[in-house]
A and B are shown apart, each in its own frame.
Chain A
Amino acid sequence: MTKPPPDQPQEAFSRRSFLKGASVATIAGTAATAAATAATATQGKPETFGPGTHEIQLKVNGQNKLVKVETRTTLLDALRDQMDLTGAKKICDRGACGGCTVHLDGQPINSCLTLAMDAIGGEITTVESLTEGGKVHPLVQNFVHCDAMQCGFCTPGMVMSSLACLQQRGKPTREQIQHDLSGNICRCGTYGRIFEAVERTAQGAQGGGK
C-alpha cells in the first residue's frame, strides 16, 4: 500500500476554500448564459462588479429587495442570511439534494448553485410565498394532510419541486412526479406521502395546475 512517508511535514490546506473556489468557478462558467439572458432583459447593459460587496436589487415573492452581496455569494445565502427567508435550506450546498429549491422565472432551481447576481432581473419565488397573507396554498395543505414530512428539513424544497411539477404538468402521473422530484432527497423517508400530496393537489378543485 502506498502511504505518505512518515515524518514528512504537510501543509494544511482548507478543503472548503478549495471546493467552494472550484465550484464557484464552474458555476460562473455555466451561469454565463443565464447572466447574458438577464443582461438582455435589462436592455443589454451588463454591469461590472469588482471584488468586495455590492448592493443589488432582487425581486423576491413580488417585492424588490436591496441586498449586499459579493460576486461569489449564492442566491441561497442571500435569501437566508440577508432576507431571513430561511424556508430554502442549505443541506449540501452543491446541487445534490434539492433542499434549497426556489423558482426563478417559474423554473425550479437549486439556489445554492445560483449566484445572487445572476438572479438580478428575475422573478424569485420562495416557499414562503405559498402561505402569504394568511392563505395556505392547497399543496402545502396536502403536505400536512398526507403527513408528507417527518423532521421537515427537506420539506420546503420538496414543496417547491412539487409545485413546479404541478405547474408544468397539471395532472402528473406517479412516474412523472417521481421524475420531477428526483433532484430532491429526504433522509427521513417521506417520498411516498409526498407523491400522494402532489396527486391530491392535482385532483383537488383548487389544485396547483395552471
Chain B
Amino acid sequence: MTTPRQEIELAVGFGKHIEKRKVDVPDGDAPPWDANSKFTVVGTDADRVDGLAKASGRAKYTYDINFPGMLYGVIVRATIAKGKLDVLEVDEARKMPGIAAVVLLKEVGNKVRFVGDPLCAIAGTNLDVIRDAMEKVRAQYTTEEHNVDFLQNPEAPVLDGDGNLIDAWPEHEIGGVIAGAEASHEGTYRTEVQTHSSLETHGAVARWQGDDLEIWMSTQATFGVRGELARALDEKGHKPASVSLHAEFVGGGFGSKFSAGVEGLAVCLLAREAKAPVKLMLDRFEEHTCTGNRPSSLMQIRAAAKKDGTLVAWDTRSFGGVGFAPGGGGVTFPQHYIAEVQKRGAHKDLVCDTDPPRPMRAPTWPQGYFGGELFLDELAGKIGIDPLEFRLKNDGQVIRQEQWRMGAGKFGWLQARNPKPGSPRDGDDPRYLRGAGLASARWGGMGNHGGRTPHGCTCRIHADGKVETRSGAQDIGTGLKTAMAMLTAEELGLAAGAISVFVGHTADPSGPAAGGSTTTPSLAPVIRHAAWLARQELAKIVAQHLGCKPEEVTFAGGKVGAEAAAKPMLSWADACKLIGPNPIETRGTRFPNYKGEAFNNGVCGCQFAEVRIDTWTGQVKVLRMLAIQDCGIVIAKKLAESQVLGAMIQGISYALHEQRLMDKRSGRMLNGDFLRYKITGPADMPPMECIMMSVANGHTNTSSVGLGEPPSVAAPAAIANAVYNAIGVPVRHLPITPDKVLQALAARRA
C-alpha cells in the first residue's frame, strides 16, 4: 500500500522543550497541528455537550429504555463454587404466572466454575413475578472442593508471618550484582481484588422485529459487541437479518464492558422466545461477582543502587490472583526508572474458583506502581536520599522531569514531607501523624487507525446551518462527544455548542472500543478530517458565490468569506443557505499514525499526596492531592481535568478502601454490595487539583494521546508513600485499612 506522502516539518514538544521534527504526512490528511498552532475552541473550557442531558436526568441509558409491552429478564446463577451441574429443571418456572420465556445457559453435565456461573434466564412481565418463578427452578450439583484464595493455590509461594515471600530467589547473575551493590533492598507487596463497580450494571434491552434485531446495551465496544452477538445468534440458529446496537449513554465501564457477556446473549434469546422486547440488567451482587475485576497480586521486589541513588539492578517475581482460568493477573512496574539497569522479572497467575478478571482501568499497572514506587521510597530511605531527588536521578522521561519539578513547587513538597517519619509534625496534636508521598504515571495510548478497516467519522452541514458529527463509537463518560464537537467547531469556526454530536449507534461510522486510552487519539484525527473535508466543500460553494478562490475562504467566529472578495463576509447561516437540499456530507479517513518518532511515545504524569494518620484508630485521611498530567494536545480541558480528578479519587479508593472479601466456605463474595464494599464517598474527599500539560507529539493531525488510564496509575502509590512518610513504616498491603496501620504502628514500637 503506497499512500503518497509529503514530508512536513512540525514543532513538537512542550513549553521550552520545542524541537523541529520532520514527519511523513499522508496526502489528503488535514494539515497537522503542532506546538505553534493557535486554537479558538480546542484546549478551552467548553462545557460537556451532553452535560445538560445527564444532569437533568433526561439522558436515556440502556437501563432507562422502556417499550410498551416490554418484559424483564433475570439470570439464575449457580450457588456453588465448583462442581458439575446434575439437574436443571425449569418446567415449573415456565408455567408460573407472568412468565414468557426461559432459556438455558448451562447444559446438564457441564462444570460449575464459580458462585454466579449462569444456569438459565427467565423473562416475565415484571421482576416480582420473575423472582417468584426463580424459586421454582431446581438445580442440583455434584460439588467439588473449591478454593477462593489465590494464596491457598498449591502453586502459591510460601510467606512468613509478616507476609514476606521466603522462597529463595532462582539463581541468576543479578543476585551477585545486588549482593555487591552499595545499597540494596527487598520487600513483598500485595494488593486485593477490586471490582469495577460501574454504577450502571451490565445489561441490555433486545427487540426483534421479524428477523431484525435491535439492541440497547451498556457497553464500551459497540461494534465488537454487535459482531459478537450476531455470530453467537447465528450459531444458535437464529440468523438475524440485521443487528443494530445503541449505546448512546453508558453508565461507566472501566474495562468491564468489552463483551456482550452471557447477559447480552440471554436477552436476545429471551426476546426471541417471548416475541416481545426484553430488558435484562444485572443486579449489584451480580455486578460485583460475575462481571470481572482487577485481580489481586503478590510482588516481591529486590533492587540495588549506588550511594548517589542511581539504580543498577531490578529483580522481581510476581503472582496474580485470578479466577477459574489463568490470564490477566500480571503486574507492570514503572519502566522509566529502570530502562538502563540490569533486570529480571518472572510472573505466574494463580487460579482460584471465582469470577475471572477483566481489564480494569490501566490493567496491571496500579498494582505494579504501588509495589514499585513504595519499594523505591523504602530504598531511598535506606540510602538517605529524598524520594523526589531519587526520582529525578532515575527518571528517563523528559516530560516527567519537568512535571516533577513543577509539581514539587506547586505542592510544597519539602514543607509537606515529614522530616521525622513516625513523629508528629511541629504544632500538631501528637495523636496524628502527617506525611507526604509522590508517584509517577505513565501510559501509551497513541491511538491507532483501526488496522485493515480504519475508523471513520461523518460530518454533515445542512442548508439550515445545522452541523452534525457522527461516530458509532461510544462515550462512556470520558467526553468523546465533547471532543467531537470541539474538533468540528475548531475547523468550521463555530462554537462547540453549535455542533450536534451523535455517538453510540452502529449505523454510524465505526470506531474503536473505549479501552486502553485509545478512543480519543484514534478518533480525533478522523473527526477533524471529516470536518476539514466538509469545510472544503462549503468553501467551494461559498467561493463560487463570492467570486473568489476556495482556498481564500476563511472560517472564523461564525463568519465565512474572504478578505479578497468583493462581497462582504457571510454569516454561518447565510453561507449554509447556499447548500442544496442534500447536506454536505463527508466521511473522514483515519490515516495511520505518522511514520517517524513522536516527541513522546505516550503520556507522563506525577501525583503528590499528603495524609494524616490517626494513631488511635489507624484511620488514614488524605488531606490533599495534586496531579500533573499530559495527554498530547489537550482538546477538552475541563473534561480532561475531570478524568484525572476521577482517577485520583478512584486511587484513594483502591489505596484505602476497596477489597473483595470472599467466604472461604461457600465461595461467595461477602461484601457484594455497596454497603460493605466501600468505595470513596463524598465525606472522604480531600481538596485536589489537577494541572494539564499540553504536549505536541506530532504523530497525527491532532497530536492527541489517551488519558483514561494514566492518572489512575499514580494515585494509590502516592498515598502509600505518604503513609510511609507519616508513620515511618511501609504498609505493603493494599488497601491500607485501619487494622493494618495499627499493626504497622505496633510493629514499629516493638
- Tell me, yes or no, whether B54 is within 8 Å of chain A by CB: yes
With contacts A147-B51, A182-B682, A192-B688 taken as known, whether A159 is within 8 angstroms of B57 at the C-beta atoms is yes
Using known A-B contacts A89-B63, A178-B682, determine if residue A149 contacts B688 with beta carbons closer than 8 Å. Answer: no
Q: Which residues of A contact B131 (CB under 8 A)?
A: 14, 16-17, 20
Please give the distance in Å from A127's CB to the nearest CB on chain B.
Answer: 4
Give the contacting residue for A187; candidates B74, B127, B199, B682; CB below 8 A.
B199
A12 and B79 form a contact (CB under 8 A)? yes
> Is B340 in contact with chain A by the CB < 8 A criterion?
no
Chain A residues whose CB sits within 8 angstroms of the CB of B643 once the complex forms: 150
A41 at the interface (CB under 8 A from B): no
With A and B bound together, what is the CA distance between A3 and B665 in angstroms? 5
B52 touches A14 (CB 8 A): no
**Known A11-B138, A12-B138; contact A153-B685, beta-carbon cutoff 8 A:** no
A164 within 8 A of B: no
Chain A minimum-CB-distance residue to B198: A187
Q: Kindly state whether residue A128 has any CB partner on chain B within 8 Å.
A: yes
Binary CB contact string for chain B from 282 to 300 against chain A (1 if under 8 A, 0 otherwise):
0111000000000000000
For A9, A12, A178, the residue with the greatest tally of chain B CB atoms inside 10 Å of its CB is A12
Contact between chains at B681 and A182 (CB < 8 Å): yes
Which residue in A81, A91, A126, A194 is a CB contact (below 8 Å) of B284?
A: A91
Q: Is A148 an interface residue (CB 8 A)?
A: yes
Is the pair B57, A156 in contact by a Cβ cutoff of 8 Å? yes
Residue A59 at the chain B interface, CB threshold 8 Å: no
Q: Which residues of A contact B251 (CB under 8 A)?
A: 89, 151-153
A25 CB within 8 Å of chain B: no
A contact residues around B59 at 8 Å (CB)? 152
Given contacts A12-B76, A145-B47, A153-B199, contact A88 B57 (CB under 8 A): yes
Q: What's the interface size class on A, roughly?
A: 35 or more
Instruction: Decide: B57 and A92 in contact? CB cutoff 8 A.
Output: no
Are A151 and B200 closer than 8 Å at their CB atoms?
yes
- Contact, CB under 8 Å: B200 / A70: no
Q: Who on chain A is nearest to B683 by CB?
A: A182
Q: Find out whether the CB atom of A149 lies under 8 angstroms from the CB atom of B134.
A: no
Given A91-B199, A92-B284, A193-B642; A9-B55 close (CB under 8 Å): no
Q: Would A192 and B60 count as touching, CB distance under 8 A?
A: no
Q: Which of B50, B131, B284, B682 has the most CB of A within 10 A?
A: B682
- Contact: B51 with A126, CB < 8 Å? no
Residues in B609-667 with C-beta less than 8 Å from chain A: 638-639, 641-643, 645-650, 664-665
Counting CB contacts under 8 A, is B140 at the interface? yes
Q: Which residues of B contact A93 (CB under 8 A)?
A: 283-284
Contact A149 B140 (CB under 8 A): no
Known contacts A151-B476, A178-B682, A185 near B674 by CB under 8 Å: yes
Q: How far is the CB of B515 from chain A (nearest CB, A)?
A: 15
Once the chains bind, are A97 and B199 in contact (CB under 8 Å)? Answer: yes
A89 to B57, CA, bound (A): 9
Does A86 lie at the interface of the complex (its beta carbon under 8 Å from any beta carbon of B)?
yes
| A 186-199 to B, binary, CB cutoff 8 A, 1 in contact else 0 | 11111111110000
Q: In this complex, which of B141, B144, B648, B665 has the most chain A Cβ atoms within 10 angstroms of its Cβ?
A: B141
Cα A175 to Cα B252 in complex, Å, equals 28
- Min CB distance B277 to A, Å, is 13
> In the complex the two chains form, what is the Cα distance from A1 to B148 in whole Å?
12
Per-residue interface assignment for chain A, residues 53 to 97, with 1 indicating a CB less than 8 Å from any chain B CB and 0 otherwise: 000000000000000001011000100110011111111111111
Which residues in window 130-146 of A have CB below 8 A to B? 130-131, 136, 140, 143-145
Give the residues in chain B near A6, CB-CB below 8 Å: 83, 142-145
For residue B114, CB closer than 8 A to chain A, the reply is: no
User: In the complex the two chains form, is B80's CB within 8 Å of A187's CB?
Assistant: no
Q: Which of A17, A136, A188 contacts B135 (CB 8 A)?
A: A17
Chain A positions 92-127 with a Cβ under 8 Å from a chain B Cβ: 92-97, 99, 126-127
CA distance A179 to B60 in the complex (A): 29
Partner of B682, one of A73, A136, A181: A181
Flag if B252 contacts A151 (CB, 8 Å).
yes
Chain B 503-533: CB-based contact to A (< 8 A → 1; otherwise 0): 0000000000000000000000000000000
Q: Is the CB of B66 within 8 A of A84?
A: yes
Alpha-carbon separation in the docked complex, A3 to B141 (Å):
15
* B197 interfacial by beta-carbon distance below 8 Å: yes
CA gap between A18 and B64 in the complex, in Å = 26
A150 and B55 in contact (CB under 8 A), knowing A86-B66, A144-B47?
no
CB pair A189 B249 closer than 8 Å: no
B685-A178 in contact (CB<8A): yes
| Residues of chain A within 8 A of B53, CB atoms compared | 152
Q: Which residues of B contact A177 (CB under 8 A)?
A: 682
Judge whether B478 is part of the interface by a CB distance below 8 angstroms. yes
Q: How large is the interface on B (under 10, 10 to 19, 20 to 34, 35 or more residues)?
A: 35 or more
Q: Are A86 and B63 touching (Cβ within 8 A)? A: yes
Q: Of B52, B74, B641, B674, which contacts A92 at CB under 8 A?
A: B674
Q: How far is the CA of A14 from the CA of B48 in the complex (A)?
A: 42
Say yes or no for A13: interface residue by CB 8 A criterion.
yes
Tell me if B685 and A143 are in contact (CB < 8 A). Answer: no
User: Residue of A at shortest CB range from B666?
Assistant: A4
- Partner among A17, A85, A86, A96 whose Cβ is within 8 Å of the Cβ of B675: A96
B54 lies within 8 A of A10 (CB): no
Q: Are A9 and B142 in contact (CB-based, < 8 A)? A: yes
| Chain B stretch 78-107: residues in CB contact (< 8 A) with chain A | 78-80, 83, 86-87
| Residues from chain A with Cβ under 8 Å of B57 in the complex | 85-88, 126-128, 131, 155-156, 159
CB distance from A176 to the nearest CB of B (A): 11
Q: In the complex, which of the residues A4, A15, A190 contacts B143, with contact meaning CB atoms closer than 8 Å?
A: A4
Contact A156 B132 (CB under 8 A): no
CB pair B63 A9 closer than 8 Å: no
Pairwise interchain contact B55-A143, C-beta atoms closer than 8 A: yes
Partner of A147, one of B47, B140, B679: B47
In the complex, whether A206 has a CB less than 8 A from a CB of chain B is no
Residues of B within 8 A of A131 (CB): 52, 56-58
> Which residues of A from 7 to 55 have beta carbons under 8 Å from B?
7-17, 19-20
Is A77 a contact of B127 with CB atoms below 8 Å?
yes
Contact B679 A185 (CB under 8 A): yes
A154 to B739, CA, bound (A): 31
Chain B residues closer than 8 Å to A189, beta-carbon distance:
645-650, 680
Q: A12-B119, A20-B131, A178-B683 are in contact. Are A147 and B48 (CB under 8 A)?
A: yes
Closest Cβ of chain B to A67, distance in Å, is 12
Complex alpha-carbon distance, A122 and B532, angstroms: 55
Q: Identify which of residues 278-327 in chain B touch chain A, using a CB-to-CB cut-off of 8 Å.
A: 281, 283-285
Whether A10 pairs with B47 at a CB distance below 8 angstroms is no
Query: Could you tell me if B143 and A8 are in contact, using CB atoms closer than 8 angstroms?
Result: yes
Cβ contacts under 8 Å, A151 to chain B: 198-200, 249-252, 476-477
- Using CB atoms, name the residue of chain A closest to B679: A185
Q: Tell me, yes or no, whether B137 is within 8 Å of chain A by CB.
A: yes
Q: Which residues of B contact A159 (CB under 8 A)?
A: 55, 57
Is B687 close to A, CB under 8 A? yes
CB distance from B435 to the nearest CB of A (A): 22
Tell me the smallest distance from the CB of A110 to a CB of chain B, in Å. Answer: 12
User: Closest Cβ of chain A: how far from B594's Cβ, in Å?
Assistant: 31
Contact A12 B55 (CB under 8 A): no
B61 contacts chain A at the CB level, 8 A cutoff: yes
Docked-complex contact A140 and B55, CB < 8 angstroms: yes
Query: In the complex, how many angstroms separate the beta carbon of B743 from the nearest chain A beta carbon?
Result: 24
Nearest chain B CB to A192 CB, angstrom units: 6
Bound-state CA distance A128–B57 (Å) is 6
A34 to B64, CA, bound (A): 29
| A188 CA to B250 CA, complexed, in Å | 12
B671-695 CB contact bits vs A (8 Å, 1 = yes)?
Answer: 0011100011111010110000000
The 9 A-B pairs of least Cβ separation, nearest first, read A87-B57, A151-B477, A189-B649, A152-B54, A153-B251, A189-B646, A86-B64, A12-B139, A144-B51
Besides A9-B141, A154-B199, 7 more A-B contacts (Cβ < 8 Å) are A10-B80, A14-B137, A86-B63, A97-B199, A155-B57, A189-B645, A193-B645
Q: List 14 A-B contacts (CB under 8 A).
A: A4-B665, A7-B143, A9-B142, A86-B57, A99-B199, A140-B55, A150-B643, A151-B476, A152-B477, A177-B682, A182-B681, A185-B679, A187-B254, A188-B252
